[in-house]
Amino acid sequence: MESLLWTEIHEQPDVIRKLMAEECANTLKLGRALRERTFRFVFLTARGTSDNAARYGQYLFGGRNRLPVALAAPSLFTAYRTPPKLEGALAIGISQSGQSPDIVGVLEEARRQGAPTIAVTNDPDSPLARAAE
């Protein structure tokens, strides 16, 4: 008997192919817009299992773009209200549901500070998607 985890793992190649085909135009548009800007570092924010994607993103941005990458401490933004200065950052929020208030809070503050913001989520109508550019 196959578990849901096993099934999801083996669906990944097809899901990625489909996603790449459906989002190719949007990805190219995003890439062109980002090339017009200069970033000193990437600022990733995620919680739970999305932290794994953020950690992988840390390697990709560091290795491919040779940029320093910081992982956010969302409670600095929401609970303590002492967000870091994000001048020169590209802020990326990662959440499957896009519902996490602390991840949304980080992107809202990053955008308020003038940092370009990207949401990576399964729900394009989520609060996280609306918080990002």
pTM of the model: 0.86
- The predicted structure's pLDDT at residue 11: 87
For the segment 64-75, what is each residue's pLDDT rounded down to a tens digit? Answer: 989 999 999 988
- Domain annotation for the chain: domains and CATH numbers: 1-36 (no CATH), 38-131 (3.40.50.10490)
Q: Is 93 helix (H, G, I), strand (E, B) or coil?
A: strand
- The pLDDT assigned to 23 comes to 87
DSSP class of 132: -
